[in-house]
Amino acid sequence: MTIIPAIDIIEGACVRLEQGDYSKISLYNKYPLEVAKQFEDAGLKRLHLVDLDGAKTGSVRNWKVLETIAGKTNLVIDFGGGIKKEKDVQIVFDSGAAMATVGSIAAENETAFLSWVIKYEPEKFFLGADTKNEKITIYGWQKITGIDLFDFIQKYISQKVNNIFCTDVSKDGKLQGPALELYSKILGKFPKLHLVASGGISSINDLEDLEKTGCSGVIVGKAIYENKISLRELELFQSKS
């Protein structure tokens, strides 16, 4: 199981939100590159970089942060937040991302998203199936749609989009454990899915539990910044995983 540390960006700084609430912002570091280098020094290979300004406004804003981290580390970066047009996709790839992280566009404009999948190949996209009560949420979790989570996943698996991460919004930022039952249910329906868990991670035990469910990866954010899990622990876990 791959450990994917997260950096969330608002106005160029590393922050965290609680349950996607922009009124509940914690500032962790004004210099995201410093944080990214710490992850790389700990032997981690991936990075989940989220443009929260972009997610809120509907257009990519913090691509310079991506460009800086991609240019000064060897991390494999997925970048998302505000990718609504093909020019946004191109900016993300031109700025050094290995994958474009998308969610809202896939929920609202299937035709546009699938045109990107055809042009850039399915493996270039990291699809967010963020959910509350098994309904897809969009716009940085600000809007709950009527789209069923499992129908959403099935639709895009059939189009060969197989790298999917799922955040249970009710768990995110609370450090009370991940949505193990939900992930088990998803993998029970889609056993070949490359499912990445996200939200609620609070300890190494949570990572071990997720690995047992069959998740191929896990995004870890607040637990790192709140010192619930050390980078050394993540390094040791990743080396044996």
pLDDT per residue as tens digits for the range 13-33: 999 877 667 788 889 999 999
pLDDT score of 42: 96
- Mean of the pLDDT values across residues 37-46? 97
C-beta separation of 165 from 210 below 8 A: no
8 as an active site residue: the answer is yes
For residue 19, the model assigns a pLDDT of 65
Q: Choose, from 53, 130, 168, 206, the residue flagged as catalytic.
A: 130
| Predicted confidence (pLDDT) at residue 119 exceeds the cutoff of 90 | yes
Mean pLDDT of the residues in the chain: 93
Question: What confidence score (pLDDT) does residue 138 get?
Answer: 85
Backbone φ/ψ region at 19: left (φ over 0), alpha (ψ -120 to 50), beta: left
Query: Catalytic: 168?
Result: no
What pLDDT, on the 0 to 100 scale, is given for residue 140?
A: 67
Rounded to an integer, the average pLDDT of 142-154 is 92
The C-alpha atoms of residue 140 and residue 172 are separated, in whole angstroms, by: 12
Contact 73, 45 (CB under 8 A): no
With a cut of 80, say whether residue 219 has pLDDT above it: yes
pLDDT band at 153 (very low <50, low <70, confident <90, very high): very high
**What is the tens place of the pLDDT at every residue in 42-77?**
999 999 999 999 988 889 999 999 999 999 999 999
Q: What pLDDT, in 10s, does the model give residues 63-113? A: 999 999 999 999 999 999 989 999 999 999 999 999 999 998 999 999 999
Contacts of 181 (CB under 8 A, 6+ apart): none
Structural domains of the chain, ranges and CATH numbers in brackets:
2-240 (3.20.20.70)
- pLDDT above 70: percentage of residues in the chain: 97
Residues with Cβ < 8 Å from 199, sequence gap 6 or more? Answer: 167, 168, 169, 171, 172, 173, 178, 179, 219
The helix-helix angle for 231-240 and 32-41 (nearest 10°) equals: 40
Q: Over the range 190-217, which residues count as b (16 or more CB within 10 Å of their CB) and which as e?
A: beebbbbbbbbbbebebbebbbebebbb
The residue annotated as part of the active site, out of 8, 51, 78, 172, is 8
pLDDT of residue 175: 74
